[in-house]
Amino acid sequence: MKLKCLAIDDEPLALKQISSYIEKTLFLEVVSLCSSAFEAMEYLAGNEVDLMFVDINMPDLNGMDFVKSLPVKPQVIFTTAYSEYALEGFQVNALDYILKPVSYAAFLKSVNKAKIWFELSKRQPETLQTNKDSLFVKSEYKLVRIFLSEIKYIESSNEYILIHLTTGEPVSTLIRLKVMEEQLPPDVFMRVHRSFIVNLNQVKVIERNRIVFDNKVYIPVGDQYKDNFQAFVDKTFLV
């Protein structure tokens, strides 16, 4: 099965590039290329898509407002030249965002996340087994043991989560973030956003109310979680 993709960008060259990336990726297919949000609205009124690539900076109606306006939202990957939009993207449950200029490596990383989501969404929810220092999750038909100390942060994407590790590639499993939160030791793991849990022992840099991992991953701290996280900062850091 190929994922039906719609791409929106008011820059013809950028739209052509995304289209070429979709065409060279075996599990994707282009169903529509749109130069504006209004053109995309017209297409979506009579057609279904699985995945949308949405440029944020567009005239008249920007990509973020366009996605917010949709009553039924396909999975969304935002494309933007400005990293600060990533925080707002999480608020509309975007699957990912890619910074321009878009490389095929970055594109492939994002669409692989989409592929995992669609595969997991078709399967029954998995179970979670935990003990004092590790947990077992089912991922890609395997039972995988994960040591809690090796978890950097856990990212939610609707029905499944990605467990990001210090030791390698993230592990995906069909578990809700709330279920995971209830199983983790609260003195080590903290929910900082509706889409993220962080390992407090892995928090080393905080910048503008964001947690920075590896100098390139920015985890936003949501308003309803700020007090708890600030209490941790006040207790742990010299400020």
- pLDDT at position 130, please? 60
Looking at 96, 121, 146, the residue that finishes a domain is 121
What percentage of the chain reaches a pLDDT higher than 70? Answer: 89
Model confidence band, residue 174 (pLDDT cutoffs 50, 70, 90): confident
Instruction: Summarize the confidence of residues 173-191 as an average pLDDT.
Output: 89
Low-confidence winner among 11-20, 55-64, 130-139 (lowest mean pLDDT): 130-139
- pLDDT at position 136, please? 86
Give the neighbor-by-neighbor strand order of the sheet with 142-147.
128-130, 134-139, 142-147
Looking at 59, 93, 121, the residue that finishes a domain is 121
As a whole number, the mean pLDDT across the chain is 86
- pLDDT at position 117, please? 80
Model confidence band, residue 96 (pLDDT cutoffs 50, 70, 90): confident
Looking at 99, 121, 143, the residue that finishes a domain is 121
Q: 196 and 94 in one domain?
A: no
Choice between 117 and 121, residue whose per-residue pLDDT is larger: 117
- pLDDT at position 173, please? 87
Q: 9 and 115 in one domain?
A: yes
> What is the number of domains present in the chain?
2
Contact call for residues 155 and 185 (beta carbons, < 8 A): no
d(CA 197, CA 185) in angstroms, rounded, equals: 12
Beta-bridged to residue 218, according to DSSP, are: 212
Model confidence band, residue 64 (pLDDT cutoffs 50, 70, 90): confident
Q: 74 and 19 in one domain?
A: yes
Q: 159 and 176 in one domain?
A: yes
Instruction: Summarize the confidence of residues 125-140 as an average pLDDT.
Output: 71
Structural domain boundaries enclosing 193: 128-236
Instruction: Summarize the confidence of residues 29-46 as an average pLDDT.
Output: 95
Low-confidence winner among 29-43, 50-64, 122-136 (lowest mean pLDDT): 122-136
- pLDDT at position 178, please? 87
- pLDDT at position 107, please? 96
Neighbours of 133 (CB within 10 A): 9
- Helix (H) / strand (E) containing 116: helix 104-121
- pLDDT at position 131, please? 65
CATH number at residue 24: 3.40.50.2300
**Does residue 90 register a pLDDT over 60?**
no
Q: 139 and 83 in one domain?
A: no
**Does residue 54 register a pLDDT over 90?**
yes
Structure tokens at 80: 């933007």
